[in-house]
Amino acid sequence: MEENKYEGLNLPNYNIPEDIQNVVSVTTIDRLYNWGRRWSVWPLMFGLACCAIEMIAAQASRYDMARFGMEVMRPTPRQADMMLVSGTVTKKMLPSIIRLYNQMPEPKYVVAMGACASSGGPFKEGYNVVAGIDKFLPVDVYIPGCPPTPQALIAGMIKLQEKIDKQSIKKVRWYEKGKVDSNYVPMPILGPDLIDVRRSAEFEAAAVKKEGVA
Amino acid sequence: MYGKGILKGLGVTLKRFADTYLDDISWWLQGRKRYYTQEGIAHRSSKNTRGIFTVQYPEEQLIQPEEFRYVPFLVYNEGAEGKKEVRCTSCGICAKVCPPQCIWIVRTNDPNTGKPVPEPKNFYIDMDICMNCGFCAEYCPFDAIKMDHDFAIASYGRNVYNLEKLLKPASYYAEIRPLNYVKEEDARKAKEAAKAAKAEAAA
């Protein structure tokens, strides 16, 4: 159990002799880097639906997300670390969300809060709703609930912090060579069937095949 | 005079600030713990609380009312030798009433006769679609599906629960919803007694 808890946490794995244990402490750059990041995850200030109300409640003094260093809701994506997709993502709103995501600097995280953002929820087959933001953005944490209570939201935030803890500076995508903006998501085309530009080649091939058969 | 309201508001804030420390001191003098205990959180949730009322979530949790509902779970009775007697008969009423249609049941068929057996082979609920309405628990004629109190279920992937993950013992249900549990057990016993009496009268 104890070993499981610390697995993948970038520990130095260096045994300090017993007689100097209270004088010397050894850590890794990863631990230091992640410690700084995990306690200053600044969310982007935007809400989409009723989940936003719970998000506001979690930010207020009753639950106080400032205890996790997440109190600074940035009104600009340039200063935000985390995108909390809190509510129903309509097809009309999606291009704006993608644009905001692309404007966020790395490291950036996406949290799908509630049923609508995770999967479309009760509107999953609606004509105007995207069935889950994960169809377009890489989601890091899914928080079920309709809406998740402030405590459930904070539980999700703790999950995100645990994820940050396990990342290593050597492997993270934003320091990879030759990949300046590896996580850029092309803007979807707004229309009756919202098109994910990344998959347009696939759609074109399917269309050609269909025509060929007919 | 203008600005009186602002001063009054600042006074309220200052009073809250002072109250926090006064309360801390009075609790400390009484030798009680104000934080991270059930007693402390109960006091800070009550209307008599003064000063700080923040719920320090991971260390302490709000005391959930009995009817608090989050995602559903399946109840099983603990049979002899730890055998799980699943209450669900895979009738499919919950899947039918579910507004966002997030329940999927796989029925069991008898391998010899091919006839359906009243026991689910598997049971899937997509927790990311579930909207916590509680209709499934409301409509279940066998008291097999109930709403859970556990809300810390966020994960790194889609939360599609299968039968194994959904099953929780009846004792757990009795623990989170004691009043409902007693009510349901009484109703079930009364029904059984009436059935027995009827059978006796017929004989």
Q: Is B99 on the interface with A (CB under 8 A)?
A: yes
Domain hosting residue B149, numbered range = 72-202
CA distance B148 to B44: 24
Which residues pair with residue B122 across a beta bridge? B106
What is the domain count for chain B? 2
Within an 8 Å CB–CB cutoff, is residue A122 touching chain B?
yes
Tell whether B97 and B197 lie within a shared domain: yes
Count of helix runs (H) and strand runs (E) in chain A: 7, 3
Query: Of A129-133, A197-201, A210-214, which one has max mean pLDDT?
Result: A129-133
Amino acid at A38: R
List pLDDT tens digits, range B12-26. Answer: 989 988 998 998 898
The tokens for A42 are 């600044």
Q: Is the pLDDT of residue A214 over 60?
A: no
B125 and B71 Cβ atoms separated by less than 8 Å: yes
User: Is residue B97 domain-shared with residue B154, that is, in the same domain?
Assistant: yes
Q: Please, what is the angle between helix A29-38 and helix A150-165, to 10°?
A: 160
Bridge partner list, B126? B160
Closest partner residue to B130 (CB to CB) among A61, A67, A144 is A144
With CB atoms and an 8 Å threshold, state whether B128 touches A115: yes
Amino acid B35 reads Y
C-beta neighbour count of A1 within 10 angstroms: 4
Same domain? For B58 and B95 the reply is no
Question: What's the one-letter identity of residue B21?
Answer: Y
The rounded distance, in Å, linking the Cα atoms of A46 and A117 is 13
Mode of pairing for the β-strands spanning B116-126 and B145-147:
unpaired
Q: Which chain A residues are closer than 8 Å to B130 by Cβ? A: 115, 144, 146
Contacts of A50 in chain B (CB under 8 A): none
Cβ atoms of A97 and A73 within 8 Å: the answer is no
Q: How far does A136 lie from chain B, in Å, by closest CA?
A: 15
Residue type, B67: E
Residues with Cβ within 8 Å of B84's Cβ and at least 6 positions away in sequence, in order, are B76, B77, B78, B167
Strand order in the sheet with A141-143: A82-86, A109-113, A141-143
Stretch 73-112 of chain A: residues touching chain B, C-beta under 8 Å: 112
Mutate which: A61, A64, A146, vs B, most B CBs within 10 A:
A146
Domain's final residue, options B63, B88, B112? B63
**Which residues of chain B are within 8 Å of residue A158 when distances are taken between CB atoms?**
58
- Give the distance from residue B2's alpha carbon to the nearest chain A alpha carbon, in angstroms: 28
Chain A residues with CB under 8 Å of B129 CB are: 115, 118-122, 124
Contact B70 A67 (CB under 8 A): no
Residues B88 and B1 in one domain: no
Give chain B positions within 8 Å (CB) of A118. Answer: 128-129, 158-159
How do residues A163-205 score in pLDDT, each as one tens digit?
Answer: 998 888 888 888 877 766 667 888 887 766 677 777 778 877 8
CA B127 to chain centre: 14
How many Cα atoms occupy the beta-carbon half-sphere of A18 within 13 Å?
A: 0
- Judgement on whether residues B82 and B178 belong to the same structural domain of the protein: yes
> Could you please report the per-residue DSSP string of chain B?
-TTHHHHHHHHHHHHHHHHHHHHHHHHHHHT---SSSHHHHHHHHSTT--S-----TTT------TT---SEEEEEEE-GGG-EEE------HHHHH-TT--EEEEEEE-TTT--EEEEEEEEEEETTT-----HHHHH-TTS-EEE-------BSS--EE-HHHHEEEHHHHHHH-HHHHHHHHHHHHHHHHHHHHHHHHH-
pLDDT at B125: 92
Claim to verify: residue B100 and residue B17 sit in the same structural domain? no
A120 touching B (Cβ < 8 Å): yes
CA distances from A105 to A64, A100, B127 (A): 26, 10, 31
Residue A180: what pLDDT?
Answer: 63
Last residue of a domain, one of B16, B41, B63: B63
Query: pLDDT tens for residues A43-102?
Result: 999 899 999 999 999 999 889 899 999 988 999 999 999 999 999 999 889 989 999 999
pLDDT tens track for B41-59: 888 888 888 877 888 888 8
Substitution target in B60, B151, B160 with the highest count of A β-carbons within 10 Å is B151
Same domain, B107 and B56: no
Per-residue pLDDT, A1: 35
Give the tokens for residue A91. 């097809």
CA–CA dist A110, A120 (Å, integer): 16
Q: Which of B45, B63, B81 is the last residue of a domain?
A: B63
A115 and B129: CB-CB below 8 Å? Answer: yes
Mapping DSSP to helix (H, G, I), strand (E, B) and coil, where does residue A37 land?
helix
Q: Answer yes or no: do B140 and B44 share one domain.
A: no
User: B128 and B92 in one domain?
Assistant: yes
Question: Quick one: which of A58, A110, A60 has its CA closest to A80?
Answer: A110
**B65 touching A (Cβ < 8 Å):** no
Across A130-135, average pLDDT: 89
**B53 and B76, same domain (yes or no):** no
Tell whether ipTM is more than 0.90: no
Supply the Cα-derived Rg of chain A in whole angstroms. 21
Look at B126 and A119 and tell me if their CB atoms are within 8 Å.
yes
Edge-first strand order for the sheet with B160-161 is B103-109, B116-126, B160-161
Provide the number of CB pairs (under 8 Å) joining chain A to chain B.
95
The reply to whether B119 and B146 lie within a common domain is yes
Going by pLDDT thresholds of 50, 70 and 90, the confidence category of residue B156 is: very high
Contacts of B99 in chain A (CB under 8 A): 122
pLDDT digits (tens, 9 = 90+) for B159-188: 999 999 999 999 999 999 999 999 999 999
A38, A139, A142, A161, best to mutate vs chain B, most B CBs in 10 Å:
A142
Give residue-wise pLDDT tens across range A3-25: 455 666 777 777 888 888 888 88
Residue pair A104/A78 in contact (Cβ under 8 Å)? The answer is yes
Largest CA distance in chain B: 90
- C-alpha B34/C-alpha A79 separation (Å) is 37
Closest CB from A64, A124, A140 relative to B129: A124
User: What value does the mean pLDDT take over residues A110-132?
Assistant: 90
Whether residues B134 and B195 fall in one domain: yes
CATH assignment at residue B196: 3.30.70.3270
List pLDDT tens digits, range B92-145. 999 999 999 999 999 888 888 888 888 899 999 999 999 999 999 999 999 999
